[in-house]
Amino acid sequence: MGVSQDIKEGLTLLRRSALQGNLDAQVFCGQIYDNGSYCVRQDSLEALKWYRMAAKQGDSRSQIKLAVCYAHGHEMSQDLSYAYAWAIIGLSNPRINEEQKRILENITSKIEVTLTPKEYKRIHKIIMDLGTEANNSEARQKYN
């Protein structure tokens, strides 16, 4: 017996929760679209939309995902300034683990040797524009 599964209704409720700011729901929506799970067609751009919402709220997994995607141009145009900005924000996140730190440090070390003063200014603006979450304030200090 039990309750019948209604995946469509479940996804509707999940998206609603994510749109209301539930961090875990945002990450889960990103993963569902990233992997094409639960009868949802794989859609990397839709996944990145949800990861971006979660990253702005301080989710380290989403910050790393965005840094990697921007660095390598996965499903979007490569943008090293955004990759570097998300990596710096991720590195200032107190919840990252050692493996996540290694990934982000690898991204920043490869990018920073190529950056011009103009690009550093752009990165500063990106970090300032990305929101006001706690770990972003630490990242902002790097550029003030």
Percent of the chain with pLDDT over 70: 88
Contact 7, 39 (CB under 8 A): yes
User: What is the distance between the alpha carbons of residues 63 and 19, in angstroms, rounded to a whole number?
Assistant: 18
Across the range 98-122, mean pLDDT stands at 95
Residue 139 pLDDT greater than 70, yes or no: no
Q: Which two tokens stand for residue 111?
A: 């990018």
Q: What is the pLDDT of residue 3?
A: 47
Is residue 4 very low, low, confident or very high in pLDDT (cuts 50, 70, 90)? Answer: low
Picking from 13-22, 28-37, 92-101, 132-141, which range would have the lowest pLDDT averaged per residue?
132-141
Mean pLDDT of the chain: 87
Instruction: Give the global pTM.
Output: 0.82
pLDDT tens-place string over residues 15-62 = 999 999 999 999 999 999 998 988 889 998 899 999 999 999 999 999
Q: What is the pLDDT of residue 93?
A: 92
Residue 92 pLDDT greater than 80, yes or no: yes
Is residue 122 very low, low, confident or very high in pLDDT (cuts 50, 70, 90)? Answer: very high
Across the range 112-136, mean pLDDT stands at 83
Q: Which two tokens stand for residue 68?
A: 């990697």
Domain range list for the chain: 7-57, 58-144
| Cβ-defined contacts of 80-83 (< 8 Å, 24+) | 80/111, 80/114, 80/115, 80/119, 81/115, 81/119, 81/122, 81/123, 81/126, 82/126, 83/107, 83/111
